[in-house]
Amino acid sequence: MMWFSKEERERRKLQKEQKKLRKEIERDEREIEKLMKEMLRYADILKDGSEYLSSLNKAETFRLPDNYPLPCEILRKHFPQTDDLCCFNGGWGYDAEHAAVLKSDPKIGSEEKSDAAALESAFIEKRNREELFFARSGGGVSRNQVSKLLNGCAAK
């Protein structure tokens, strides 16, 4: 058995630690490289999403004209199966001046609770359908066009 001096043993110990640290550094460098590639992929996705949202800002918005019938009149006509959800006064809710106001409806008994959030969601859905299908010149947007639009948005 060989006996090494204290300095030699210390030197060998340090070399062993150095070798171990080199392996850890190489492993960490590979991990960093992998994370950088993933980060670049997410940056591309974010850029695509940002470009898509930017294009929406340039899109022409549609709003029901001021002379369009009020919601309480027209929604009952176009959506008779949801007549009980048409308990709104006021306008179409695009701004404060044309706010849609939930009103008391004699059809809904006082013992029944009305779910304002559900009514608001139903109102917005009906307004969107009114904008897409009924109010546009030329008969509105076809259901196929709406499906294509929605699928296009989901793909982005």
Which pLDDT tens digit goes with each residue over 81-131? 766 656 777 888 888 888 888 776 565 555 555 667 777 787 888 888 888
Q: How confident is the model at residue 144 (pLDDT cuts 50, 70, 90)?
A: low
CA distance 100 to 119: 11
Whole-Å CA distances, 134 to 18, 25, 49, 52: 76, 65, 31, 28
Q: What is the pLDDT of residue 59?
A: 65
pTM exceeds 0.75 for this model: no
Confidence at residue 105, expressed as pLDDT on a 0 to 100 scale? 59
